[in-house]
Amino acid sequence: MEARDQAVGEIRRHLSPELRSVATTSSDPQVILNAIKATYSVSSFATRHNTLQAFLAVQQESSETMATFISHAREALHYLQSTRPHIATLAIPAAGSVSYSLADSDKELLISVLLHGTKYTALTTCLLSLNSQSSR
């Protein structure tokens, strides 16, 4: 029981004030973690884009062994994989279910390249132009 209370205390101590309301709903650490995950871990393109950029930025430090570098790269890959939408969270009651496909991933990769390789204002202008042309 003491270990459980310590775990709840640690979880609450490390949460930002905005998230603490979710952590007061239970005294079970696993229930709290599940509530936080359900509330705040919705997969989005922005999350996946940022994690992809972080993954691609992984480099071996001069003082790092190859084994440590590989470990960091694998950790970054696992984090990137964890940002993919889960099939269960993609169910839209009114419209059936939606799936995240390899084609969706390819589109996100293309957008990431465009965002990384183009000045933001130029890309925005281009996308706005495409949007207005398609609505005519």
**For residue 123, what pLDDT is reported?**
62
Q: Is the pTM of this model over 0.85?
A: no
Q: For the chain, which residues make up each domain, given as ranges?
A: 1-41, 43-98, 101-136
Q: Name beta bridge partners: 91.
A: 97
Helix (H) or strand (E) holding 132: helix 120-134
Angle CA 74–76–79, to nearest 5:
110
**Is residue 44 within 8 Å of 34, Cβ to Cβ?**
no
Q: Tens digits of per-residue pLDDT, 86-116?
A: 654 444 545 555 577 788 888 888 888 777 7
């990769």: which residue's tokens?
Answer: 109
